[in-house]
Chains A and B, each alone.
Chain A
Amino acid sequence: MYRLILAAAVLLAAATPASALEAGAAKVEITPAPGVPMNGYGDRWGRDSTGTHDPLWARCVYLNDGETSVFLVNADLCLINPALREKVLDYAPKAVPPEHIILTATHTHNAPGSMEPDFPIRFVSGRFLPELLEHTARRIAKSMEDALAAKQRAAIGYAAGEHNGLTVNRRNSDGPSDKQLGVIRVDNADGQPIAIIANMAAHPTSVPDSHHYEYSADYPGFYYNALEAATGEGCVALFLNGSEGDQTIRSPNGLGGWDRVKDVGESLAGRVKAIADDIDCVEARLHVSYAQTPLPLTIASLLPRTSTVLQTLEIDDLLLCFWPGEPLVDLGLALRERALKAGYKMQCTIGLSNDYQMYFVPEPLYDAPGYEPSMNFFGPFAGEYIIGEFVRMMTRATDRGEGEPDELPTPRTVAGGRYVTLSGDASARGFQLGRLFADDFRARYEQRIAGPIEAGALLPDSAPWSFVPSFIDATPMALLGLASGARPRLTGVSEDTMRVMDGMARGAGLPFDAIWLLQSAADLSRYEPREDLFVGPACTMFSMEGERAAGGLTIGRNLDWPLDEWPVITEVRPETGLAYVQVGFSWNAGVFTGMNERGVVVCLQRLESAAPSPWNETPLEFALEAVLKEARTFEDAVTLLRRVRASQGYVLAAGPTEKGGSAAVLDYHGEPSVHRADDGYLPGVQLDDGRIDSDTRDRYTRAEILIKDQERVTPEMMRDALVDQIEGGAPGSILRPDTAHCVVFEPLRGVMHVAFPSHDGSAVSFETIKVFDRDPAMLAEEAAAR
């Protein structure tokens, strides 16, 4: 019996994984001698440090649960760059696999730079000093060696408290902030703390200007000292910064200068101590996930890396996510929400970990002015993408998201162009389009943006561009500047459309900013003296309604667009909102010409002869896209369009009404004025508008003869009018050499007639497309019911 019990005990012991937690902690000073450049502020211009205010440290905790070992390092540095990580891994003790070594920086802006081999980044980090990189890496590795050497039986616990107002949103004091103060406590077998780790989100950019060039750990330095003083010998205080992109500190006592820094550091230590004191430490299970994750494409080709390191550390129900950059707090909170939803009891995001890929801002802030959005180089959904990748790494997550759509719609040929039906969510629809027409997207981008930039055609004539010597290719910088300058134009673009463009970017293998610049190419060219690149659309459009229209309502529309394009008819079936068809090109995310499933039609004409819209104004075509998705009747469309503000342009809106169908033209010059049909006929522009040029006036005068003066207008007559050419090429021809498409809409029948003129002299042939199978009577009834 005794033997049986012994054998059972041995078997039980063998079956149960070893769970004796070991831990060790150490700190090693890493302060270099003065005389090396500092990181963090561009205004230092790479100048050298002049002294040390307080020392900088590498602090390390070693944890090993018998199966998983990990080094968790926090260094008083501005960031961890790949060169430093690589060097540290070279020298790190081999007891822990490289994928389990977690390097974080507190982000103090008073730490040395000089560890960045890539020249463009040296503008902030200063000249590259290989010997400093070597020194720092060896010192960090030393902290690991010391922590490993100090390992002992240990227990660990954690708790999330509140920091009680130590941080605030630095861009908007009422803006979001992370109130959580995460604390991890590691005790030895005697119950004495050997390490206490705090996680709070706030920029360490608090050193007074008078010490701008001195080393300092900033408020974490005061925190270390105060906490270690409070816990006594043998406890190492660590600080892991959080989603601090837009967060800074707030002195609880309203102090300034060094007093403020000290106040926050010591208050933080006090809060951490209070929370840590209530933590019960146990023998926990550890799990580390490591991923070398591809980054979204960026237009900032000066950033040399295409992938980054993501790590998570799970300690029982605690999830730590190590983010390789500076996420804004909204992203950290969103990630926490996902983690808690997945079943974790506590989550902390640790920014500035393992790599540095600048800022990550949430989509609504992508077009906002300010430093953080301008330093977000991977598109408006990069933060969301990183969150998704973290979710994939969570052992408890069940919803790991979907990949890209496997199946693509098959385009069919219509009127010489392509007709494609898109379905799914906005991102999937964009992806389908981008993947289907990837070659076209890339060719247009090269032709209209990258090519002209490289040739200098779009570069400003002023300094500093004028000083760039000819052997320097300013394209990487110029593209970055151009993309940044185009961001404010996104202000009026809906999130749905942003997702469409993001999908396009992924599908086409281009950065988001490239897709947006492509949308803006027509306007871009108009702001340069070198306007030969191309000009915006001239266009002709008119409608006939009432008894004089054979179908109750007929709209004719030519889009004049001088560049060679792939004509594409896109049928969009969004998950929310109305389905619509737009006639345009492969790449355009807005709408120039379109009709939705309720028969609402919108067509855009910009006024080339008027002053260009301000560069930061959202292009009008993006408002039309929203109208098509939302407007169920003509009145809805007009109501929505009245809310839009634009400097110039005309929009023709038409659709079913109580009495059948009606049309209106909205003339934009700030608040739009609305023009209605006169005796059934409505031209796209007002002939008495002093801003229109003679060519436009001639075309519309010709349209009056062909349409307005007819007793009854059939769709066939509309088609003939759209392809009208005056012999000898005299002014007034409605079909211009640059007409990209001609469309006649019969909204009440859900029909459109489309032609893509070939410009080789051959006859223009229309193809009739039944867009939506809606009974016009029902449409009318619906309108009447409203």
Chain B
Amino acid sequence: MSETIRSYTGGANLRRRRRPPVVRYVLLFLLLGVFSWMWFVTRDTHEAGELVPLGQQYELFVSDLLGGREAIAGSSLWEIAPESVASPELREALRNDFGIPAWVLNNYTLGPFHISGNNLPSFDDALIVSRITRVGCLLERFRGWSDQIEDDFAGGLRLRHVPSAGIYYAIRGRILLASSSRKTLVRALTLRPDEAVGQEHIEEAATSRRDEIAHARVLCAGWPEAAAYFEAAEARVWLAGKESRLWLAGRMTDEARSRWSALLEHARPGRLLNPAPGAVQLSVNLGLSLPDAASAAAALAGTPNYRLLDTLQSLLPEESRAFAAPVMEDFVSHLGAGFGVTWRGANPLEMIPMPKIALVLQCDPAWAGEWVGSMPAVPDTVQPWESWPRAAEEPDRVYIPAVAGPDFEPTFAPFGAGMLLNSSHPDALQLLADTPEPAWREEEGNLWLRVEPAPLCKDLLDLGRELARAGLLRDLDKEAFDTLAESWSGLAGKVETVQVLAQHEAGVITIDLRLKTME
């Protein structure tokens, strides 16, 4: 037996496994061709900034509308917003990705949405511009064959029209443009470079994000209602579970600044008094004393030369005018800039159902103490029930018997950074006995407002019920009132607090509104 190198050639089986080189190459080329086509048709040929017209009256940047849908659906705003704005069905649709597979939906978003237009407040020319993924591009190619979507040649612009949704859209590279207005869409697709905002504008908006869910800018010229006061405005929205926040800024027109100058010319962010605790707390500091602010507000309302002091003095009973008028004038002349107002509750069983209101008026606390302490003794000729300022049993308290019960007895006392003027004597005593809170608020501004809707609503309903029982509420008898009260209580019970901080500086008014809902 010799060592022979044997060479075997394959039989029939071997022959079957062998691919002819031509077929292999065809398949490869086909694959390459498909990928190349896919690569080609989904290439990033356009930038959003080329497709957004310059000088749009409003712009809205939504950071990640579809990506943030869970946060939006999770916001407790849905609990309190009217169903016409926030229907439960829409919320459910957001939670269920509109019934579309998530991967499909996710491929339609890549980066922020940019929405712009001119028609305010109808928004009927809104142009939506967004980047989409390559997969989104491809999906869009295939969806183009759907019978829900019609082609609109539009002189070669190749628009698509979804009649059922009333939307026109087009894809340029990986940019999706959509609008309910065909004209708007055509214009966006035919912009010359100098007519577009440019990519820097879009990027600048992206970099100015402050983790909000949406950011809007408005030029008010096309919006007559707003244009009467503002040139431009800006808004940002945050949604996070039970906390929502809306930040607004508006640049006033020269005419509005001039008109409001009496009230706002001294207003710049400053220290705010801490109002007494209560269901509604308001603190105002416009850089004007209360009498000056009242005069300015009256002038704005068309009553020039108004003096708060005159009004207050006119309320004085004739018999005490000679004494009280100079005391009141002295009091008013010592008031500083800033005051706080608090809704402390209500007494629906009073002679006239009335709220309890606590005012804190900024003044020199030392002077406040002196003023209260120096109140002269009540003359012998004055009866105990007559409206005459008199020292309370407790030190540093002055009260004035008015009409009805003690909840109608205005009471003065040094308080925090000024003087307390409480409409109710017992409530004033309670307030002064409570642990004092800081005299000033931490935040600066011109106006701070905090509302606890549930207790406020309860007070208002208690007061209203008395009027309804007497048939004194327009179009509301007792039964209708009870029905209304139930719905109001339900709504108010969903909100824990509403807080507003507003300020003015150099013609720009900023409002920061925060809403906290119940768990």
Contacts and interface: CB of A to CB of B under 8 A. Distances in A.
Interface of A: 37, 44-48, 50, 118-120, 122-123, 126-130, 212-213, 301-302, 304, 470-477
B473 A473 contact: yes
B75 interface: no
A37 B475 contact: no
A213 B401 CA distance: 13
B384 interface: yes
B1 interface: no
Nearest to A468: B472
Contacts of A44: 385
Given A123-B352, A126-B405, A127-B404, 16 more contacts: A37-B404, A44-B385, A46-B408, A47-B401, A50-B384, A119-B352, A119-B466, A119-B470, A127-B351, A127-B407, A130-B349, A301-B471, A304-B469, A470-B474, A472-B472, A473-B472
Identify the 5 closest CB pairs spanning chains A and B, nearest first: A45-B403, A46-B351, A46-B404, A473-B474, A128-B349
Interface residues of chain A: helix, strand, loop or mixed (majority): loop
A588 B222 CA distance: 61
7 contacts: A47-B405, A48-B405, A119-B353, A120-B470, A302-B471, A470-B474, A475-B471
Given A119-B469, A122-B351, A472-B467, A46 B385 contact: no
Interface string B377-405: 00000011100000000000000010111
B350 interface: yes
A471 B474 contact: yes
B257 to A, nearest CB: 32
Contacts of A470: 474
B336 interface: no
Nearest to B475: A473
A717 B160 CA distance: 84
Contacts of B351: 37, 45-46, 122-123, 126-127
A168 to B, nearest CB: 29
Contacts of B497: none
A46 B470 contact: no
Contacts of A119: 352-353, 466-467, 469-470
B385 A213 contact: yes
A122 B385 CA distance: 18
A472 B349 contact: no
A32 to B, nearest CB: 14
Nearest to A210: B383
Interface string B325-368: 00000000000000000000001011111000000000000000
B67 interface: no
A118 B469 contact: yes
Contacts of B473: 471-473
Contacts of B466: 119
A123 B403 CA distance: 10
Specify which of B407, B408, B469, B472 lies most central, judged by the most chain A CB atoms within 10 Å of its CB. B472
Contact of B405 (A37, A213, A474): A37
A128 B351 CA distance: 7
B493 interface: no
A476 B467 CA distance: 12
B369 interface: no
Nearest to A48: B405
Contacts of A118: 469-470
B385 A50 contact: yes
Nearest to B384: A50
A479 B469 CA distance: 18
A129 B404 CA distance: 13
Contacts of A123: 351-352
A198 to B, nearest CB: 33
Interface string B471-497: 111110000000000000000000000
B474 A472 contact: yes
B404 A45 contact: yes
Contacts of A45: 351, 403-404
Interface centre among A50, A122, A470 (most CB of B within 10 A): A122
A470 to B, nearest CB: 7
B106 to A, nearest CB: 51
Contacts of A122: 350-352
A302 B468 CA distance: 11
Nearest to A50: B384
Contacts of A304: 469-470
A46 B403 contact: yes
Contact of B404 (A120, A126, A474): A126
B406 interface: yes
